[in-house]
Each structure stands twice: as structure tokens, then as C-alpha cells.
Structure 1
Amino acid sequence: MRYYQLGGSGESRLAVRTGDGLYDLTAASPDVGSYLDLVRTASITDTDTDAIVDGLLARAPSIDADAVEGDLDTPLRPGEVWAAGVTYRISEEARREESDMEEMYIDVYEADRPEVFFKATPNRIVGPDEAVGIRRDSTWDVPEPELGIVLYRGDIVGFTVGNDMSSRAIEGENPLYLPQAKVYDRCCSLGPCVRSAESIDDPQDLDMWMTIERDGEVMFDESTTTGEMVRSLDELVDCYVDHNAIPELSVLLTGTSLVPDETFTLREGDRIDIGIEGIGSMTNPVTTV
């Protein structure tokens, strides 16, 4: 099942998409107003989210899918977002291209310990159709489409689409500038929904794609698969949660294998479309922050 937060333009409510249509879960139970409400209920009853929803569908009114266009909100409000880097060969190659210290990225790609870093707080996250940011003090900026792992108290409960916006000029100048290259206003987008973990057979066998448009012209259009990831999801999650005080709800982005070449940089007004098989697609315009 796929869970959407509606109310970008009005009253907030949680909806679910099944094979039969789209349904308003909040109308069925006011206690389920958000994805966090749903996973808390599943935890209390020692079951999964889809099982909880199965019991609500009989009294959940259907929603016209066309009516929610433009009404999508960020599907969840995690306490924090972290991200993993150099998990695909192409991302290792891209990081080497931007840096004068390329050997460090080879070492991380082949090391036992993955690169896991802090990405965003709730106020830095945007949802579908909201603008992602490029830093005013950066000259080379790219989106990074990634599979996002949704965690409840450290356990995998779902997946979403993520965009780990990156200022490659800043990070390339010195790897110690990574926090400034990664963490800033509108640096991360999540959406369009959360797909329940139990409804995906293999999250490391999903097609992923990204297009970038500028003034109606396609500047980038490529696809890949999460099967190209050299780390397992459990490995990345373990690295994030071990020895760490994690929030109740969090997201871990898992790295990218779709990287525009070094001649491309985002501009204000560009449009980024990112999609992952079985989860959905998300559009974000670009603004300068």
C-alpha cells in the first residue's frame, strides 16, 4: 500500500492507495491523521501498517485521484534525514571528479564502513511540487535521486523517493565542507508517498529514473536500478542506528547512481522529476536560497 499526506492547500488528512483506488483514512478514523499516527498504532498492536488499514477500508470513503493533484503534502515528517554516500560505482566516480583528494572516495567505496552523514531537519525538507534549493554561494549544483528508507524506532517500515540536493563545488573544494554542501534550506525533498515495506518484494531491485527540464528542454534523462547498489539496506541502517540516538521516525537516503556530468549545473527555474518503480514519481522546481 502507498500512503499519501493530503492537505497542501487545506485540511491535512492521510490517504492510502490500494489496487482498488484511493481512500481517506482520516475520515475513517480521526486518530489516523498522519503516517506517524499509523505506524504508532501498528507498533502498539504489534502488527504492520497494511494490516491496520485493512480494518479501516470498509468505512474509508474513496477519493477522486484527480482531485488530489496539487494537494499532496510531504508524506511524512521525520525527526531527521540522514544519507549514505558512495554506494554506487558512478557516485564514487563523480565524487572523485569533483575532488582533488579522489583516493578517499575509492577507499570509502571499498571499505567495510559505509559513509553515512546527517542530511536534514524537518524545516529543511520539502514535499512534492515544492521548490528545492541551490545555494547562492555555489557554482555547481546537482540533484541526487535516491531510494529513501523509512524507519520507525530504527526498524524499516517503508520506502519513499528522496532527492539529496548537493553543492558539488563546495564539497569538491574540500571534503570537510560536506555539511555545507549537503545541509541548507530546501536541501532535501521526499515524496510522493510512503510505500509499506511489506508490500515491496525486493527494494534493491527497483527501476529508478530522473529527468531535468529547463525552459521546456530536457537537459538530463537517464534511468538505473537500485540493484546497482553495492551495500545492503540492512548494512546502511545498522551503520545509522548503531551508537546513535535516533528519533521516533526517520529517513535514510541510500545513495545515487544518476549523476549529471561535470558540465551541468542546476539553475533557478529548472524542473526535476524523480521516480522509483512501485513507489511513484515526484516533481520539484528549483529555487536559489
Structure 2
Amino acid sequence: MLPLSNHAPNATFVGRIWREGTGPCLVTLRGDMVVDITSKTAPTMRDLLDMDDPAGYVASAQGEDVCTLAELSERSVESADQDALRLLAPCDLQAVKACGVTFAESMVERVIEEQAAGDLDAAAAIRARVAARIGDSLSGIVPGSDKAMEVKKILQAEGLWSQYLEVGIGPDAEVFTKGQPLSSVGCGASVGLHPVSKWNNPEPEIVLAVNARGEIKGATLGNDVNLRDVEGRSALLLGKAKDNNASCSIGPFVRLFDATYSMSDVETAELTLKVTGEDGFVMDGHSSMTKISRAPADLARQTCGPHHQYPDGFFLFLGTLFAPIKDRDAKGQGFTHHVGDAVEISEPNLGTLTNTVRLSPDCPHWTFGAGAFMRNLAARDLI
């Protein structure tokens, strides 16, 4: 599947690829051609997004044709050859941050995880009890509002208050570090599960591209791979649940804000998910940004401001509505990944992000960090 089949002809896409014998390069799409626009002016995605008008720069930038989009898509698969042409995650020096519990339905699933303490067998009974007590009382609620505080008191009296409900309807959003700069994988790569996890799932999300000034310059897709049992045992295990080798996938490209695409398109995005297992299992999912509890711009403001600066910018996962409860291995146990699962996350304006599920130790190890990146750019006389 092409990552951007039938993409809008006037859209401004920018991304990163690995070129053989060269290393990471900035690219854009012109028609169906992938064009290398790496230069001293914009050697990195960080530099590009820090411009006042990234889309305008990309539209006029001189470049070199690399290959067709179809060829890049075909070659962007896991390979033992780490110098092979392939798509990379579009972020480079940016921090990779994520917001959790931003949708009411997925918030309820987090409560269930906590109540079950990571026990997959206990989840079904807890799900039924929590649903009976909470119902639709959280739908449409504005976090931090007077109504939200009233619901909080009711839930506390019912013995159902949770740390997940606190960040779901309280004044402060959950914002955590999903991955380190340059650690994310791109479209076509394998995504990794920590071997200790037996209950996990994909999380299809919109990811904002934000520069050093806190300005949102575009958006892309992401898979915030989630270990439900690890995080369910204790919220203090969030780092182990979220940040592992190849556990963060972003791409295929950033669509820059311009006359054809804006924040309003982000706020009305409709994401679809498809998981296809080697065992024949198929699961379809959906996440509508129209149901998010917190405005994306507010999530960016809670991440970056006088309280916290990001001199290289950041990519921000916005959370997901998707709550995977379809039974796979046994009745009442819901969904969990199998090694070999193919995951497709799609959105009409942003394309399709595809990855194959492996165990983290079996994915190509992350070896190209900031030091290697700087040496590579210096050797190419780009910095």
C-alpha cells in the first residue's frame, strides 16, 4: 500500500528518508516524485519547522529527484542493510511527547486497566461494573469545568475515582515523553513490544509538528504502542510501558499547514485502524478527533510555554479514542497483539502509516543518535 495514495495534489508534504551512502535527508513530494531538498538553509526537520513559513520554503526549494513514491514505499521495509533507501520518521532533533487520556471512551479503558492491575482475565468483569456506574456521564464534559468537578465528587463517592480520571477531566492534561529524539521509526518499519507484555495494543493518533516557539506547523500520524498490562500494574511504570526500542512510529510525512490544510482539519480528522494477524485475525478501529476532550492547541500550550521550553521543537501525540475490546485469544480477554501483526493507520489528509509488530529486541536496534547525526551533517558540509 502506498503511504500517500490519492494524496491531495496541492498538499505540502515533507518528510525524511535514508539515502544509500548519504544518510538522513529532507524530502518533499512533487507529483509522484520524492525530491531531496536538504540544504544548508534547512539541513534538518528542526530547522525547516522553525521557519516562519515552512510550506512556502518547501514549495520553492530546489531539490534532486530521488525516486518515485511507489518505489520508496516498496523499499521501506525492515532490512538488515541499515544503509538501504527507506522512509524515516519525519522528526529528527525534536522531543517526542504524548498526551494520554484525552478521549472519554479510552479514559474508561484506562480506569479498567488500573482496576484490573494488569490482569487481562479480570478486565471483562471490571469493564461491565465500571460501565454500569459511569455510563455516559463523561461524554462531552469539559476538563476542569464545574461540571467535571461535580462528576469527580460523584465518582469519588462511588469509589471509582482514578488517576486516569484526574487527567481526563481535571484541569491538567497528561503529557509524557514517548521517545527520545531520533528514536522513532517510520512507515514500513517494525514496531516493538517489550517482551514482558502479554496485553498490548496499537494507538492510532494525530501527531502535531511544533517548533521551538510553540507554533504548530503541521501534522502527521503516529502509533503510540501501548503495553496495557505494564501500565495497568502501576502508573509509575509508564516509561517502561511507552518508551522501548521501536515502540514509537511516526509518519509517513508531515503535512504542513498552508492554504489547503489547517488546524480545523486536524480537529475534524477521522482516523481508521486495521490490524491483520498472521493467524487470520482482523480488527478494525476508528478514532474521531471531533470527540477529543481537550483542544489540540491547548495540549500544545500545556506542553510548551514559560514552564517548559523545547529549543528544537517537539512532536506531540494527541491521544486516541480507540479502545480495543474485540476478543482475540479467548472470550472476555479483549485484544492483544501477536508478533507479525500488520498495523495500518489511515487518515484521508495524512495518508497511511504501516508497520509490522515484533518484539523490541528483535527490531533493528537504535544506533543512530544525535551524535551520529551531527557527525553525518558535518561530513556533508551541511552544518
Same fold (TM over 0.5): yes
2-side partners of 1:258 and 1:275: how far apart? 13
Q: Are 2:222 and 2:251, in contact at CA under 8 Å, matched by a contact in 1?
A: yes
2-side partners of 1:169 and 1:132: how far apart? 18
Give % identity.
26
Counterpart in 2 of 1:226?
289
SS in 1 for 2:178: strand
Q: Which has the higher strand share?
A: 1
Asked if 1:16 corresponds to 2:20, the answer is: no
Counterpart in 1 of 2:369?
none
Counterpart in 1 of 2:15?
4
- Evaluate the alpha carbon distance shift between residue 103 and residue 219 of structure 1 in structure 2; reply closer, same or farther with a 3 A threshold: farther
Counterpart in 2 of 1:217?
280
2-side partners of 1:159 and 1:99: how far apart? 31
The Cα shift of 1:60 comes to 5.7
Asked if 1:87 corresponds to 2:102, the answer is: yes
Q: Are 2:15 and 2:26, in contact at CA under 8 Å, matched by a contact in 1?
A: yes
What TM-score, normalized by structure 2, do the two folds share? 0.68
Alignment of 1:187-266 (within 5 A): 187-198=247-258, 199-201=260-262, 202=264, 203-215=266-278, 217-242=280-305, 243-261=307-325, 262-266=333-337
Q: Which runs of 5 or more residues in structure 1 are unaligned?
A: none
Matched residue type, 1:2? F
What TM-score, normalized by structure 1, do the two folds share? 0.88
Could you report, residue by residue, the CA deviation over 1:90-137 in whole angstroms, capped at 9, with x for unpaired residues? 210110111128522223221121111121103531111111111111
Which deviates further from its counterpart, 257-266 or 277-286?
A: 257-266
Alignment of 1:1-289 (within 5 A): 1-7=12-18, 11=22, 12-17=24-29, 20-26=31-37, 29=39, 31-40=41-50, 42=51, 47-56=52-61, 61=65, 63-69=67-73, 70=76, 71-100=86-115, 103-104=161-162, 105-153=164-212, 154-198=214-258, 199-201=260-262, 202=264, 203-215=266-278, 217-242=280-305, 243-261=307-325, 262-289=333-360
SS in 2 for 1:125: coil
Q: Which has the larger radius of gyration?
A: 2
The Cα shift of 1:54 comes to 2.6
Could you report, residue by residue, the CA deviation over 1:55-105 in whole angstroms, capped at 9, with x for unpaired residues? 226x66585222222232222214321111111112101101111285222
2-side partners of 1:82 and 1:36: how far apart? 15
Q: Are 2:273 and 2:284, in contact at CA under 8 Å, matched by a contact in 1?
A: yes
The Cα shift of 1:196 comes to 0.4
1-side partners of 2:336 and 2:66: how far apart? 42
2-side partners of 1:94 and 1:10: how far apart? 46
Matched residue type, 2:355? N
Matched residue type, 2:99? A
1-side partners of 2:234 and 2:358: how far apart? 25
The Cα shift of 1:285 comes to 0.8
Could you report, residue by residue, the CA deviation over 1:204-246 in whole angstroms, capped at 9, with x for unpaired residues? 1011011111116243112232111111011101111131132
Q: Which runs of 5 or more residues in structure 2 are unaligned?
A: 1-11, 77-85, 118-159, 326-332, 361-383
Which deviates further from its counterpart, 163-172 or 118-127?
A: 118-127
Which deviates further from its counterpart, 91-100 or 60-69?
A: 60-69
The Cα shift of 1:185 comes to 1.8
Which deviates further from its counterpart, 174-183 or 230-239?
A: 174-183
Which deviates further from its counterpart, 8-17 or 187-196?
A: 8-17
1-side partners of 2:95 and 2:61: how far apart? 29
Q: Are 2:271 and 2:288, in contact at CA under 8 Å, matched by a contact in 1?
A: yes
Could you report, residue by residue, the CA deviation over 1:7-45 in whole angstroms, capped at 9, with x for unpaired residues? 265544322235x44351427x565444334234x2xxx
